[in-house]
Amino acid sequence: MTLTILDQVRGVASDLFGLPVDRIRAESSPETIEAWDSTQHLNFVLALEEKFGLQLSPEEMEQMRNVGEAARLVEDKLPRDPR
């Protein structure tokens, strides 16, 4: 079974914020995850860059207001399947 981008981003967030993956939802954000402060936000961005092999700009970093938005941004940045 292939994991969706959202599932993979949830996995990254789970590892970083020290929460079980089933507690990370698309709506999870700094308001709902206590450990998600500005430094951890940067760590989250860096972890996504490493996981998906892409580079995000500070402006994109600012747009990631929750896990779902992060997944959407990653999806947009990944090269499209040519099929």
Applying CB under 8 A, the residues found at the interface with other proteins are: 37-43, 45-46, 55-59, 61-63
Q: How far is the CB of 28 from other proteins (least distance, A)?
A: 17
Q: How far is the CB of 5 from other proteins (least distance, A)?
A: 21
Measured from the CB atom, the residue of 2 and 57 that comes closer to other proteins is 57
Tell me, what amino acid is at 57? S
Q: What is the 3-state secondary structure of 3-56?
A: CCHHHHHHHHHHHHHCCCHHHCCCCCCCCCCCCCCHHHHHHHHHHHHHHHCCCC
Q: How far is the CB of 66 from other proteins (least distance, A)?
A: 14
